[in-house]
Amino acid sequence: MAKPPEGDNWIHEIKLDGYRAQIVINSPEDIRVFTKTGKD
């Protein structure tokens, strides 16, 4: 696959340099980043 699918129904996981994280953006003031171990 040359490029990931687009659209609001897709969630992508990008791992570039060995760090894996999940980012949740609820609003510009409410952004959380979680590591693989669940720490934020």
Q: What is the pLDDT of residues 4-37, one digit of tens each?
A: 778 888 877 766 777 777 888 899 999 988 887 7
Stated pTM of the model: 0.44
Angstrom distance (rounded) from CA 34 to CA 20: 9
In terms of pLDDT, which residue wins out, 14 or 40?
14
pLDDT, residue 39, reads 64
Q: What share of the chain is helix, strand, coil (3-state, %, to 5)?
A: 0, 30, 70
Residue boundaries of the structural domains of the chain: 1-40
CA distance 26 to 32: 8
